[in-house]
Structure 1
Amino acid sequence: MRIALVSLAAVAAVAAATPALANEVRVEARGGVIWDGSDSEATVGGAIGYDYDLAPGLFVGVQGSADKILTDNTRVSWGAGGRIGIEPRDGTKVYALADWQSKNCKYCNSAVGVGGGVQQDVGSRYYVKAEYQHLLVGDNTPDADRGLVGVGVKF
């Protein structure tokens, strides 16, 4: 028992002495345009996520989102996914992303989004970002594309 307690205390001391990485929670508001081959509409939403540093200059993150197309007969589309990227310089993140999104209307299909983006810090807690996604809808429904810009805060 004493060996286990001493071992646990040693692990805690090493963990406390290790410099903290920039793991962070982020919350953002975003808006943009969604389009398919024949139509385009404005969209607004928000997201919450957590980024975890894998190594200096490399990160992975998870994210949940809620987005609404600003037209009649649509509803909030809920999303869950992740991103992986690099930090080519302090305060800048470049990433690839993938997520699943629920139906945005009663008779629509859910979609899988793939894309990428750039996030730039503004000060120590705030950031701006630009993102592109190609939405793979399926069931003979045309795919769509979405461009987003956002502002957020990190904790």
Structure 2
Amino acid sequence: MRIALVSLAAVAVAASATPALANEARVEARGGVIWNGSDSDAVAGVAAGYDYDLGDKLFAGVEGSADKVLADNTRVSWGAGGRIGAKVMPGSKLYALAGWQSKLCSTCNSAVGVGGGWQQDFGQKLYGKVEYKHLLIGDNTPDADVGLVGVGMKF
């Protein structure tokens, strides 16, 4: 019993002496538009990620996503990527992003996306964001661009 109490006290002291970290998990719903040289369509999706603090002003994060172009003959495109950026104001993040996403349709190619975004807190747990990605598709398929607006919750 004494070992348990001493261990509990040691954990409490260590926790109170450790500075608070702002590492955070997040989930979001998002929508926007995808376009290439000739077409444009609406897109909707969800994403989940985790951001790691790299000091007071910098952060890096990972993200998984599922997006669907809202047009005939498309399917859910699964994505994995990351972002790195700066906390430019309290509650604001400016970041660059890169990632991979699976095919948008059965005859499409997978793509690598690069871009950037802005995330703004709306209180303690809610945030909104705007994002732009340029999709590098390859195999003589025209590249595409995606503009997204999202609303999410941090944990």
| TM-score, normalized by the shorter chain, greater than 0.5 | yes
- Residue of structure 1 in register with 2:32 after alignment: 32
What SS class does the counterpart of residue 71 from structure 1 fall into? coil
Q: What is the Cα deviation at residue 149 of structure 1? A: 0.2
Q: Which amino acid aligns with 1:128?
A: G
Q: What is the Cα deviation at residue 10 of structure 1? A: 8.1
Matches within 5 A, 1:1-155: 14=14, 17-155=17-155
Distance 1:113 1:16 in 2: 42
Can you give the 5+ residue segments of structure 1 that lack an aligned partner in the other structure? Answer: 1-8
What SS class does the counterpart of residue 139 from structure 1 fall into? coil
* RMSD between superposed Cα atoms in Å: 1.6
What SS class does the counterpart of residue 104 from structure 1 fall into? coil
Provide, for residues 51-85 of structure 1, a one-character-per-residue CA deviation record: whole Å limited to 9, x for no partner: 01010010000000000000000000000000000
What SS class does the counterpart of residue 20 from structure 2 fall into? coil
* 4+ aligned runs moved over 4 Å, structure 1: 9-16
Q: Which amino acid aligns with 2:36?
A: D
What SS class does the counterpart of residue 113 from structure 1 fall into? strand
Q: What is the Cα deviation at residue 12 of structure 1? A: 9.1
Q: What is the Cα deviation at residue 17 of structure 1? A: 1.3
Q: What is the Cα deviation at residue 18 of structure 1? A: 1.5
Number of equivalenced pairs: 147
Provide, for residues 105-136 of structure 1, a one-character-per-residue CA deviation record: whole Å limited to 9, x for no partner: 00100000000000000011000100000000
Q: What is the Cα deviation at residue 89 of structure 1? A: 1.2
Q: Which amino acid aligns with 2:91?
A: G
Q: What is the Cα deviation at residue 138 of structure 1? A: 0.6
- Residue of structure 1 in register with 2:5 after alignment: none
TM-score, length of structure 1 as denominator length = 0.91
Distance 1:74 1:16 in 2: 51
- Residue of structure 2 in register with 1:3 after alignment: none
Task: Provide the identity percentage.
Answer: 73
Q: What is the Cα deviation at residue 16 of structure 1? A: 5.0
